[in-house]
Amino acid sequence: MSEAKTTNIPADKLVRVTFMPEGKTVEFEFGTLPYDHHGKPMSFLDVAENFNIFLDHACGGSCACTTCHIWVKDGKEGISEADDDELDRLDMAADQQLNSRLGCQAVITKPGNYVVEIPKWNRNYTSEGKPLALAEKK
């Protein structure tokens, strides 16, 4: 079930994020994740990009679309509050729920366990992960 795990992380600094429905779980030490410039630092989109988990983000993570729409299933108390820009954008999201967030804007603010679900219309089944890269010509 785990995609990537880092050992020897102190329990009080452990961040564990599970992306559903695939059940891919990643672990890292809070405050050590390199910023990959996708969404806000430590957002679920940033975490997904750092661990090669596909979370569509047509606008590049700038809160200009809803393709990174997720449902937060567990851990909402450790996530930043949605600001007005995100709430306005979420009004246009399909199947908005009380636990809806944009992956590019929902920032992990403390160590803990988080479970998010990527709605089925936001999953890219044809690429089975990140979009395929073209092979270099030799």
- Residues 30-55 pLDDT 10s: 999 999 788 999 999 999 999 999 99
CA dihedral (1, 134, 42, 29) in degrees, to 10, reads 50
Residue 115: CATH number of its domain: 3.10.20.30
Of 5-9, 18-22, 71-75, 125-129, the range with the lowest mean pLDDT is: 125-129
Number of structural domains in the chain: 1
Measure CA 138 to chain center.
Answer: 35
Bridge partners of 113, per DSSP, are 16
Q: Could you give phi then psi for residue 20, rounded to 5 degrees?
A: -100, 155
Would you call 30 helix, strand, or coil by DSSP? Answer: coil
Structural domain including 83 reads 2-6+14-122
For residue 132, tell me if it sits in a domain.
no
For residue 135, tell me if it sits in a domain.
no
Q: How far apart are CA 80 and CA 105, in angstroms?
A: 8
Model pTM score: 0.83
